[in-house]
Amino acid sequence: MAEHKGAGDPPLIYLNNAATSWPKPAEILAEVTRCLTTPFFEQGRSTAGGTTDYPSATREALAGFFNADEPDHFIFTQSATDSLNLLIHGFAKGQKTRFHAITTELEHNSVLRPLHTLEGEGRLTLSTLPFDDGRVTLQDIKKAIRADTRLVVMTHGSNVLGSLQNIRPVSEYCASNDIFLIVDGAQTVGQIPINLSEIPECAFIFTGHKALFGLPGIGGFYLQDPEVIAPIRQGGTGTDSRSRAHPNDMPQKFEAGTPNYPGIASLLAGIRYIERQGQDAIINKCRGLTALIIRELNKDPNITLYTPAPDLPVVSFNIRSLDNDEAGYILAKAYNIITRTGLHCAPLVHNRIDGGKGCIRMSCSYLNTPEECRQAADAVREVADSADC
């Protein structure tokens, strides 16, 4: 991958993959170029014969990747944020009366803010469950259930703590109690194997630009039962154009306008790349790199680690007397190491772990090397030791 690595002195070390992955594998860039240099073709819209129908091919690939039955129930959106907005607002639109929703303190603002907006409009009442050891369990959820609970929205993996949530029992409970479950897979898709046939009747969200190695601006969701969600967008679909009403068929029900063809092509190439490498090989390598960073940071008493044994490649920490933004700035300017600092759009997690100050996060990808991770950990320790701790 040397051709993609950043130049510079010292050479760039990119450890901000939980925000957005970089570099992108060469195969993905090649597929995007192929897509942009041939006329766009999509069933029902255009007939540029001989070129790839990227939306259809990618829905098929997603169905195989997630072991899902219905390729047409994969909807393309701009991002995980866009998916969450479509699903949360679309679910609320379909409810005749005010209802109770449950979420968790682990969530990203892309979950919290749509829910708070609906709460502010008096459309729902919200319970936000605290986590214990990075997790919210089915037992916690059961304790919060009320007669009018209709919706649970929860992350599959925390972007600050790297903790995985055990979604399967939650989905089984929700399915048998007439509660709709929306799962935010922004941090898990591409990182760990996900079998949607084992997670019944939920909406499962993904984003393209993180561990799927795709472009920013592409994401989506899988929706087993389209009747649960009312569409909040209408427009051209290339089908049934005389009808004044937007089509109710999948996937058109939730898609309107010209799709992001290059983004969809990047998603297709990302899935193929992961399948070629092997999902287990990816998570094993990422876990090894993450363990290496943690081992090194643990040696320094001036470093407070919040992720002693994460499931996902996320290492969150603070340097005792140093503001996290300042530490990130020093790492970037003096060492050419890219991390992410601050609240990571998950403010409730920080209230619990670092007094709401925020922290530094290092997140590796399959394309990082042990040497890069060792150098990055050494740099953090050097900064910690030279700070006035």
Ligand X SMILES: Cc1ncc(COP(=O)(O)O)c(C=O)c1O
List contacts with ligand X (CB under 6 A).
19, 79-81, 108, 110, 155, 159, 184, 186-187, 207, 219, 345
Name residue, tokens 């601050």: 342
Strands 340-342 and 359-362, by their bridges, are antiparallel
The rounded distance, in Å, linking the Cα atoms of 122 and 341 is 34
Of 112 and 337, the one with the shorter C-beta distance to ligand X is 112
What minimum distance in Å lies between the beta carbon of 211 and ligand X? Answer: 11
Q: How far is the CB of 77 from ligand X (least distance, A)?
A: 9
Nearer to ligand X (CB atom), residue 107 or residue 300: 107
Pairing relation of β-strands 13-14 and 337-338?
Answer: parallel
Of the pair 24, 383, the CB lying nearest ligand X is at 24
Cis? peptide before 347, omega within 30° of 0: no
Q: Which is closer to ligand X, CB of 18 or CB of 269?
A: 18
Q: How far is the CB of 187 from ligand X (least distance, A)?
A: 5
Specify whether the backbone of 94 is left (phi greater than 0), alpha (psi in -120 to 50) or beta: alpha
Residue with smaller CB distance to ligand X, 182 or 330: 182
| C-alpha pair distances (Å), 188 with each of 3, 33, 192, 240 | 27, 27, 6, 37
> Which CB sits closer to ligand X, 219 or 231?
219
Closest CA to 265 of 71, 10, 16, 51: 51
* Nearest-approach distance from CB 188 to ligand X, in angstroms: 9
Shortest separation between residue 45's beta carbon and ligand X, angstroms: 25
Least distance in angstroms from the C-beta of 341 to ligand X? 14
Smallest separation (angstroms) from ligand X to the CB of 103: 12
* Distance, CA of 373 to CA of 15 (rounded, Å): 8
CB-based contact 183:102 (threshold 8 Å): no
Closest by CA to 136, choosing from 104, 101, 181, 159, is 104
Least Å distance, CB 156 to ligand X, is 8
79 or 103, CB closer to ligand X? 79
Task: Identify which of residues 52 and 77 has a Cβ nearer to ligand X in the complex.
Answer: 77
Distance between CA 349 and CA 10 in Å, rounded?
34
Q: Are the beta carbons of 305 and 298 closer than 8 angstroms?
A: yes
CA 74 to chain centre: 16
CB of 1 to ligand X, least distance (A): 23
Q: 10 Å Cβ neighbour count for 291?
A: 15
With respect to ligand X, which residue has the nearer C-beta, 71 or 263? 263
At residue 372's C-alpha, the angle toward residues 370 and 377, to 5°, is: 95
Q: What is the C-alpha to C-alpha distance for residues 284 and 267, in angstroms, rounded to an integer?
A: 22
The closest of 301, 231, 313, 256 to 15, measured between CA atoms, is 313
